[in-house]
Structure formats: C-alpha cells, structure tokens
Amino acid sequence: MKYSIIGIFAAIIMVFSVFAATAFDTESRVNRYQQHLESRQPYEGCSCDKSELCTHLPLVLIETGGNTIPGEPITDEFGNELGYVTTAENEEMITSKISVISDETKNHHPSDEPDLESNILIRIRGNSSRYFNKKNYLIRLTDENGEYQNKEMLGMDSHYEWALHGPYLDKSLIRNYMWYNIAGEFMEYAPNVRFCEVIIDGKYQGLYVMTETITNGDNCRVNISEPVDGTDKTGYVLRLDRGSHTQIRNIETFTNYTYRNLQKIDIEYPRSGKLTPELANAIAQDFSYFEKSLYSYDYDTENYGYSQNINVQSFADYFIINEFTSNYDAGWLSTYIYKDIGGKYNMVIWDFNSACDNYAAYAFPAEGFQMQNVVWYFMLMKDERFNQEIINRYKKLRETYLSDEYLNQYIDDTVAYLGDAIDRNFEVWQNTFEMDMLKPSERNIKSHEEAIQQMKDFISERGAWMDENIEIIKQYGHESKNKKFNH
C-alpha cells in the first residue's frame, strides 16, 4: 500500500515535470511588432516649415462631412443611462471617410498623400469612456457598395474593424499600448496596437491608439474557424460585460441562469451575417457544457474536468497580468474568451485604462488578490494544480516580461518614442489635469511625468507584494474533507 502511494506520487511528479517543461517555456516568445522600438522616431525630424502639424507618429484623418458621430450616452435626470444616440434614421453608425498617413520614411502632415483611404462606418464606443470629452471610436472599413472591406492598418493584419482608443482617464497615455503588447509577448493572442494622432473634420484630437478588436479574421486576430455551413460547428468568441442589446448575440449560459455570473454574455464572433438563432443556441449549449463541467464535483478530474476544456496557461496568464496590474474590471467587464472547433478555451486581455491604481471610484492597494472571486476562476482556484501553475508561471514572468527592470525600460522607451506628441495631446486635453477624475481627490494626477512615476511606483510596490505573497493563493485550493469522498 505504502509503495503504491509512492508510485502515485512519482507519477504525479512526472506528469507535472512534463507539463512544466512545455507550459513554462518563456523562450516561445510571440514575434510581436513593437512600434515604439521599430518605427519612425521623433529625433529623425523633418525639414518642413512647420506651417502645419508635423509628426513622426502615423496620422489618422476622419471626415464626417459635417455629421455628428453617433453613440453619445443618453441619460435621465438622475444620470441613469437610457441608451445611446443614434442618427435620425435610427442608425448606430454613420458613413465617413478615413485617410491614414503612415509612410515610415518621413514625418507626417495632414496635407500629405494618404497611404490608406477608405469609406468607413463610425460610432462612439465604450462603457464609462463614452462620458469623457475625448471619445473612443469603433470604425469599420467599407467599399464603395457599403460592404465591409478588410485592409491592413498601420502595419497590422488586414481586417475591416478597428477600435480607435483615446487615452483620457489614463494620463500616462501608455497603459493599453504597453500592457497589450506585453501580454502579446507571452499569451497566444492579445490585440495589436499602434499609436497615432487623430484629426476629425480638421480638428486635432490628440493621441490615440489604433487597436484590433477581439474577433476572428483571415489568419489574424484570434484566428479560429468560421461557421461550417449547414452545421452548428464554428469557432467562437464570447464577451462578458453588461450585455449588448442585440437579441441573437446575447446568450444565456449555465452560469447566468444559475446566478453564478451576474454579468451578460454576448457572442462577438461569428458576426450577425453568419450568426443564426440556431448557431447562437448551439454556442450557448457548448459553452454551458464547459461551465457545467467546471462547476461540478468532477471539475478537477482528468476525464471530465476543466483541463479538458481550457488552455490552462492562458487562464493562468490572464489571472497574473490582471492581478499584477490590479485590473479589476477583468472577470466583470470586457472579458473575452474564445475557442476553436474542437479546441480549448483561451482568455484575451482588454482595457487597462483603470489598471495600476487608476480606477476612478476608489484606490486599490498594492496588497491582496481579487480574481479568485470572478466567474470561472472561482472554481479553477479550488484546484491546487491550477494555483501552482499560476505561482510557477508568475515566478517565470517576473524574471522576464514582468520584471521591474523590463517594465521600467518599456515605459521609458515608450515615452521617448511618443516624444512631442505627448505635449500636443495635453495642449488639447490640459484641463484633464484640473479635473476631479479619481476619488479621493488627492489621487488625481497633475502632469504626464507624475502619471509615469505613479505607474512605475505602483508596479514596483505591487510586484514586491506579489513576490512575497503569491503562495497565499494556495489557500483557495486546499483539500476539503468533503472533496475526498468525490474522487
């Protein structure tokens, strides 16, 4: 009996070491383009007479023809959100034109010949950011017939849909750019991003980040299979958030109807053209099947448990990067998960504007963990093996992409790359340094330099605390007296 127990332990250790050798290989770096290191730099200069805007960053010009871009929030007298402004024809988006000036061999001016021109549909996007003066936009490239048209954008893979994110709450201006790129260095997929400066109808709008949306494309983005005609087979992307008001896309899954998840789940891919009610229903059932197995007594078993269904490292990485940055919308808002036909679920990061103690409503201390309470993770973290995966992975990442040295250098390099674009942005948005955006008031940032220092200080404190305390997540996976009867 004694020997068989030792044998079992030996087998477990062997399984673990094989797993560790493949799962924790940080050398398998995704080859990711880093704009701030590889594209045109501010010091390369320009010999123009500076009679118009001259920038080393790509320029994005949008012409609405004098129309108002829809999507402003509508609120009642108490500030409750009732919906979003549409056009007089009840359309959510308007037709406009985009011109992108991005030739890497020279600086860019609004009068330069565009490197990309297209018709677009455009609207304001976001949740809380819709209330900011500097708007975020959703853009869809269209052809002359109004059909979606895939095109490369600032060197990013060809697609018709783009998010134009304007850092506003984030006074460092670099949170999304930085954390998306860093996540993209060790996760299977994180949205690609490029800084640019934006002019709408001739009016300079400041610094933006052109961002891939989380959806499928032709060999790009999450890169999953399209629906197989006549069947319910398809890869899919889901988003956990407050819910769209689109009936087919909004599905109810096991954790919804059992009230383990109080947020809404939407199908982000397949899109409305291909998404039938039958296919949406099949996706809801498929996802519920996973959730039922995760919330069962078999959740951690070899044959029925979560390891059959999820890419464990992806879920561990998602935990680590969101905990490391205290990005606590994760698991509640803008939470993306995808799966290919017959594949496993992966997580995708999104939105770091409130990360690193930039959450508006209150401060997050550098101590503590929260992600153990969010949907799916509540169960995953009951398993000691999952928690050990997080611990091992965290320690590896702290030696590489999440080391203080790497992150501080990343911040300094990115700020150097932006150069005078930072000043141009805050010439337009200077008043945001006087606004009471964070509570309590003393948290509000007074300059870009202060914003950069605040993020560096947070990273340093948070990293030190997690180094010291990462092992405490084991407490969420302790064996219980009940559990042993279910094996």
Give contact residues for Zn ion (rule: CB under 5 A): 46, 48, 54, 107
Q: How far is the CB of 44 from Zn ion (least distance, A)?
A: 11
Nearer Cβ to Zn ion (99/215): 99
Nearer Cβ to Zn ion (6/48): 48
Alpha-carbon gap, residue 163 to 194, rounded angstroms:
11
Q: How far is the CB of 153 from Zn ion (least distance, A)?
A: 23
Q: How far is the CB of 111 from Zn ion (least distance, A)?
A: 10
- Residue pair 198/102 in contact (Cβ under 8 Å)? The answer is no
Query: Which tokens belong to 305?
Result: 């448990």
Alpha-carbon gap, residue 93 to 64, rounded angstroms:
11
Nearer Cβ to Zn ion (49/76): 49
Alpha-carbon gap, residue 138 to 188, rounded angstroms:
24
Nearer Cβ to Zn ion (59/178): 59
- Angle of helix 384-399 relative to helix 2-23, nearest 10 degrees, comes to 40
Nearer Cβ to Zn ion (54/190): 54
Q: Which residues of 86-114 are buried (b: 16+ CB within 10 A; e: fewer)?
A: beeeeeebbebebbbbbeeebbbbbebeb
What are the residues facing 100 on neighbouring strands?
60, 116
Nearer Cβ to Zn ion (17/51): 51
Nearer Cβ to Zn ion (6/46): 46
Q: How far is the CB of 49 from Zn ion (least distance, A)?
A: 8
- Residue pair 119/143 in contact (Cβ under 8 Å)? The answer is yes
Nearer Cβ to Zn ion (73/110): 110
**Of 222, 334, 241, 225, whose CA–CA distance to 283 is shortest?**
225
- Residue pair 73/80 in contact (Cβ under 8 Å)? The answer is no
**Of 368, 292, 358, whose CA–CA distance to 327 is shortest?**
358
- Residue pair 192/54 in contact (Cβ under 8 Å)? The answer is no
Alpha-carbon gap, residue 257 to 237, rounded angstroms:
20
End-to-end Cα, the chain, rounded Å:
18
Diameter of the chain measured on Cα atoms? 86
For residue 142, CA distances in Å to 62, 215, 302 come to 14, 17, 48
Alpha-carbon gap, residue 481 to 479, rounded angstroms:
7
Q: How far is the CB of 52 from Zn ion (least distance, A)?
A: 8
What is the enclosing helix (H) or strand (E) of 474? Answer: none
Q: How far is the CB of 197 from Zn ion (least distance, A)?
A: 13
Q: Beta strands 346-348 and 250-251: pairing type?
A: unpaired
Nearer Cβ to Zn ion (54/238): 54
Query: Which tokens belong to 11?
Result: 């087998």
Q: How far is the CB of 109 from Zn ion (least distance, A)?
A: 5
Nearer Cβ to Zn ion (18/46): 46
Nearer Cβ to Zn ion (107/261): 107
**Of 315, 287, 360, 429, whose CA–CA distance to 23 is shortest?**
315
Q: What residue type is 465 in one-letter code?
A: W
Other Cβ atoms closer than 10 A to 384: 16
